């Protein structure tokens, strides 16, 4: 679930999230909140308190678009980040510039050493996939695997071992 800076500044945000989870019988450990570093900068103490409370219930926190805006390595530690999402702008460079590979490898290594998972966004080619798997990126997302689909079609998608590409079941 994407969280805006405005939502994170709201003192009642944690209560709202927990209420929705309880009302719908959804386990907190199955929820991962995605936020950008801007959300942390706007009201750091409120963000820290809110995220700590939600993490106490098992909700995970992902830092989206890492490295593209205001980045501070201290955010990874002070806000209890569980996952770093490597922005597609770096993934896109993997096929054309060594700088993209250097950034992706550095972020993945940093995350691994801090015990934080990584997701690479915007994976579109087999070469990008192979490189990201080789450097230890935990999860990949992008058009290589599937175009966006409506939620009602998710149950119809399976991944075939031969191609790792999604196939629709009938």
What is the per-residue pLDDT across 132-156, written as a single tens digit (0 to 9) for each? 999 999 999 999 988 888 877 766 6
Which is the catalytic residue, given 49, 117, 121, 124?
121
Which residue's entry shows tokens 């993490």? 55
pLDDT at 81: 94
The CATH label, of 3.40.50.620, 3.30.450.40, 3.40.50.300, 3.20.20.450, for the domain at 5-168 is 3.20.20.450
Domain residue spans in the chain?
Answer: 5-168
Residues of the chain with pLDDT under 50: 160-170
pLDDT at 71: 65
This prediction has a pTM of: 0.80
Give the Cα separation of 23 and 37 in Å (integer). Answer: 29
pLDDT at 15: 96
Task: Give the strands of the sheet with 83-86, arranged side by side.
Answer: 32-35, 60-66, 83-86, 117-120, 139-140
pLDDT at 78: 86
> Partners of 139 in the beta sheet?
119
What percent of the chain has pLDDT above 70?
88
Catalytic residue flag (residue 49):
no
Return phi, psi of residue 112, to 5°. -60, -45
pLDDT at 38: 81
pLDDT at 12: 95
């Amino acid at each position: 679930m994407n969280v805006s800076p405005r939502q994170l500044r709201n003192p009642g945000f944690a209560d709202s999230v927990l209420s929705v989870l309880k009302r719908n019988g959804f386990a907190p450990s199955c929820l991962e909140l995605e936020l950008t570093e801007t959300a942390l900068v706007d009201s750091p103490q409120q963000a820290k308190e809110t995220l700590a409370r939600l993490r106490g219930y098992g909700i995970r926190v992902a830092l989206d678009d890492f490295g593209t805006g205001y980045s501070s390595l201290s955010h990874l530690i002070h806000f209890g980040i569980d996952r770093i999402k490597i922005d597609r702008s770096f993934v896109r460079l993997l096929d054309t510039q060594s700088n993209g590979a250097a950034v992706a490898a550095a972020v993945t290594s940093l995350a691994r050493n801090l015990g934080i998972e990584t997701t690479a966004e915007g994976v579109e080619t087999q070469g990008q996939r192979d490189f990201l798997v080789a450097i230890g990126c935990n999860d990949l997302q992008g058009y290589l695997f599937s175009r966006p689909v409506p939620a009602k079609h998710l149950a119809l998608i399976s991944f075939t071992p031969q191609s790792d590409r999604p196939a629709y079941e009938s």
